[in-house]
Each structure stands twice: as structure tokens, then as C-alpha cells.
């Protein structure tokens, strides 16, 4: 009797198909996640600025806008997707937005990103 060693052809096709689907997902969603981590970094950098609590909300918004422009992020609307304001003693810097990406034919994916930074 012969003992099977290794993977069968059907198993190999299944593995290759699964890897191809996950690869296509990474290619389609990769830029969205890169943009999210850039925005997160921008908000964290602004939050760590010395003397931020002494600045006006419009000035903080301007600081964020300049960093977004330099980073080359074009699909983010700072007025609509971000909240910069005070909640009691805390200064809140947060954003929340969604992106819809076409995957294949009539299949689309929507991802939602959010980040909050509270400064005392």
C-alpha cells in the first residue's frame, strides 16, 4: 500500500486560490490602511506639540491641515471627518471616516477608521 506524502493537486489549488484572494485584498485595502496610519501619526504628532492647550481650535485645525497636505492625503475632509474641540477639561482630537473600495465586478468593501486622542 502506498502512503501519501505531501499535498494533493486539489489541496494545492485550494491553497493558491486562498492566497490569491488574500493577496488581492491586501492590494486593494493596503493604501486605505496606509492613509489611516498616516492620519493617526499626524494627530498624535499634533497632540504631542508643546503648548497645544494654549492654542485656539482654528490654529490646531490649521496645524493638522498643513501636515495632511504635506503627507499627500487627498480624500480626507478635515471639517467633516474630524472633531477638534474641548470636552470639559480635555482637548479632544479625533477622526472617523469610511472608505468604499471596489474589489471585483459588483463586490465592494467598506472599511471604517476611527481614532481619538485626549489631551489633559
| Average pLDDT estimate for 101-116 | 92
Which one-letter DSSP state was computed for residue 56?
-
pLDDT tier at 5, thresholds 50, 70, 90? confident
pLDDT tier at 98, thresholds 50, 70, 90? very high
pLDDT given at position 110: 94
101-111 burial, b at 16+ Cβ within 10 Å, e below that, comes to eeeeeeeeeee
Q: How does pLDDT run across 39-92, given as a tens digit for each residue?
A: 999 999 999 999 888 899 999 999 999 999 999 998 899 999 999 998 888 899
Which residues make beta-bridge pairs with 83? Answer: 94
| Integer Cα distance of 101 and 107 in angstroms | 9
pTM for the full model?
0.83
Backbone angles phi, psi at 7, to 5 degrees: -105, 145
Amino acid at each position: 500500500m502506498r502512503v501519501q506524502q505531501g499535498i494533493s493537486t486539489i489541496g494545492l489549488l485550494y491553497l493558491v486560490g486562498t492566497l490569491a484572494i488574500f493577496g488581492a485584498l491586501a492590494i486593494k485595502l493596503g493604501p486605505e490602511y496606509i492613509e489611516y496610519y498616516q492620519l493617526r501619526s499626524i494627530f498624535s504628532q499634533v497632540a504631542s506639540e508643546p503648548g497645544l492647550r494654549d492654542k485656539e481650535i482654528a490654529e490646531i485645525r490649521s496645524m493638522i491641515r498643513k501636515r495632511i497636505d504635506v503627507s499627500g492625503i487627498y480624500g480626507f475632509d478635515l471639517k467633516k471627518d474630524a472633531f477638534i474641540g474641548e470636552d470639559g477639561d480635555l482637548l479632544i482630537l479625533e477622526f472617523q471616516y469610511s472608505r468604499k473600495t471596489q474589489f471585483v465586478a459588483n463586490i465592494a468593501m467598506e472599511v471604517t477608521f476611527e481614532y481619538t486622542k485626549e489631551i489633559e
